[in-house]
Amino acid sequence: MTFTPTKFDTLLVANRGEIACRVMRTARRMGLKTVAVYSDADATARHVREADEAVRLGPAAARESYLSVDAVIEAAQRTGTGAIHPGYGFLSENGTFVKALEQAGITFVGPPASAIAAMGDKSAAKARMANAGVPLVPGYHGDDQGDALLRSEADKIGYPVMLKASAGGGGKGMRVVESGEGFQAALDGCRRESKAAFGDDRMLIEKYLVQPRHVEVQVFCDRYGNGVYLFERDCSVQRRHQKVIEEAPAPGMTTELRAAMGDAAVRAAQEIGYVGAGTVEFLLDADGSFYFMEMNTRLQVEHPVTEMITGQDLVEWQLRVAMGEPLPCRQDELTITGHSFEARIYAEDPEQDFLPATGLLTRFALDLEGAGLGADQVRLDSGVESGDTVSMHYDPMLAKLIVHGVDRDAALATLNRALAALDVQGVVTNRAFLQRLANHPGFKNVELDTRFIERNEATLF
């Protein structure tokens, strides 16, 4: 690969909301000029107010604004931008976008298009990971897709199994099959769903783990073959496969398991020539076995909990790697201090099946002093301020409340106080639901697995 490191002094953030604000904060600290982009619905949004310069992309519909490759590249060219940070979602894992940037001579703050492609297809990714010696959930991810063969593979794996669309994502095209009798109907249904959502009906089959934890490893690679892991996050608390509260480090990890998962994650990244920030997701079984699930080739929503326990700024790492610098430190220079939680504050109504909420946010404030909390204990990554309007056009996440404590109990107590100190008026949020979760005895006792919310419905709703 020929690569000429280019320093840049202007960064365009091709995103909105809290992540656009968060990326620009570090960019400013590093002396970079910041450019925001916006749709008509966001003309006066916080990320626009905070940028040095802002460019309109198009109408409110994401397809015509934040998802428009042409509009984003044009905005970059118009402002003399040297690099683009994609945030998460939108164009962050779009190989076409990355290739278009290469041609336009603009630096993409993220991995090469080839690495995104390698992880984009679940079956192909699993084949690559098997090669690299990364443990996989027992299962079938082959090319032969005949009904009879899939059925016999499922029988061999043993029920329950999970059918997954190879091209799937976002929790779609997945089905649990309890026994052989239900297999054909589930296969037909899953294929239909997958064809409709992804235009592709190839399936893979996995052993269905009954009570796994979702534990993911933060990795970082530079352009010179160096790779490190910044430990793990436990994201087991999910509602419909969507994360609600995340924490780092994962409770109950031994030094050996942490090193084994970290090494496997770095191997996974290096196998595909990865560069930048990435996350390797694993399912962790009760017996301590862990299995590769997928790799997210972007900065994750929950990256702040890793920053809190390592004292590193992951966006600064991303920008330095994009400028062609080597990783800022070696594996043995990274350590874990204390414990961190993140709670996602959504404009949604838990009383109405989590229906997204909109309106004028008359107040959005966190009274740390009143709660007796210090600025070193609590961080609010927000895309909004009092007086902003929450529209229906995009993801309803308003902010992330992140806390740090000397250990898990201390951090959890701080999370509860910080949630209570958050004053939101004018728009319904999930705050009360988060408080019930954070106060739940099962959560305090680390009874964690991906069905925690489902299992505790009676006491959480």
Pick the closest to residue 112 from 216, 2, 227, 10 (CA basis): 2
Taking CB under 6 A as the rule, does residue 168 contact ligand ADP?
yes
Burial (0-12, 13-18, 19+ Cβ within 10 Å), 355:
exposed
Q: Does 241 bind ligand ADP (CB under 6 A)?
A: yes
Q: Decide if residue 137 touches ligand ADP (CB under 6 A).
A: yes
- Give yes or no for residue 169 binding ligand ADP (CB under 6 A): yes
Residue from the set 115, 150, 253, 293 that interacts with ligand ADP by CB under 6 A? 293
Is 93 a binder of ligand ADP (CB under 6 A)?
Answer: no
Q: Is 450 in the site for ligand ADP (CB under 6 A)?
A: yes
> Both tokens of residue 283?
């399912």
- Among 202, 213, 223, 298, the active-site one is 298
The contacts found for 128-135 with CB under 8 angstroms, 24 or more apart, are: 128/271, 128/272, 129/268, 129/271, 129/292, 131/271, 132/267, 132/268, 132/270, 132/271, 133/264, 133/267, 134/264, 134/267, 134/268, 134/271, 134/292, 135/264, 135/289, 135/290, 135/291, 135/292
Let me know: does 381 contact 360? Beta carbons within 8 Å.
Answer: no
- How far, CA to CA in Å, does 19 sit from each of 188, 429, 451? 39, 19, 28
Could you say whether residue 206 binds ligand ADP (CB under 6 A)? yes
**209 scored as a contact of ligand ADP (CB under 6 A):** yes
Residue whose structure tokens are 């992951």? 314
Question: Beta strands 339-346 and 290-296: pairing type?
Answer: unpaired
User: Taking CB positions, which residue lies at the least distance from ligand ADP?
Assistant: 450
Q: Which is nearer to ligand ADP, 14 or 237 (CB)?
A: 237
Q: What per-residue string of b and e applies to 147-164 under the rule 16 or more CB within 10 Å gives b?
A: eeebeebbeebebebbbb
Chain positions 258 to 287 lying near ligand ADP, rule: CB under 6 A, are 281, 283
158 lies in the site for ligand ADP, by CB under 6 A: no
Cβ closer to ligand ADP: 141 or 404? 141
Instruction: Give CA–CA dist 388/364, Å, rounded.
Output: 9
Residue 208 found at the interface with ligand ADP (CB under 6 A): yes
Q: Is 175 a catalytic residue?
A: no
| 235 vs 422, beta carbon nearer ligand ADP | 235
Contacting residue, 111, 120, 212, 262, with ligand ADP by CB under 6 A: 212
Residue 238 Cβ vs ligand ADP, minimum distance, rounded to whole Å: 6
CA dihedral 97, 87, 90, 378 (to 10 degrees): 170
Q: Which of residues 14-33 bind ligand ADP (CB under 6 A)?
A: none
Contacts with ligand ADP: how many residues (CB under 6 A)?
18
CB of 348 to ligand ADP, least distance (A): 19
Closer residue to ligand ADP in complex, CB, 118/327: 118
Residues with Cβ within 8 Å of residue 441, at least 6 apart in sequence: none
User: Mask of contacts with ligand ADP, 171-190, x by CB under 6 A?
Assistant: x-------------------
Closest separation in Å from C-beta 154 to ligand ADP: 13
Q: Do 434 and 362 form a contact (C-beta atoms < 8 A)?
A: no
- Shortest distance, CB of residue 341 to ligand ADP, whole angstroms? 18
Binding site for ligand ADP (CB under 6 A): 137, 162, 168-171, 206, 208-209, 212, 214, 238, 241, 281, 283, 293-294, 450
Catalytic residues, by residue number, are 298
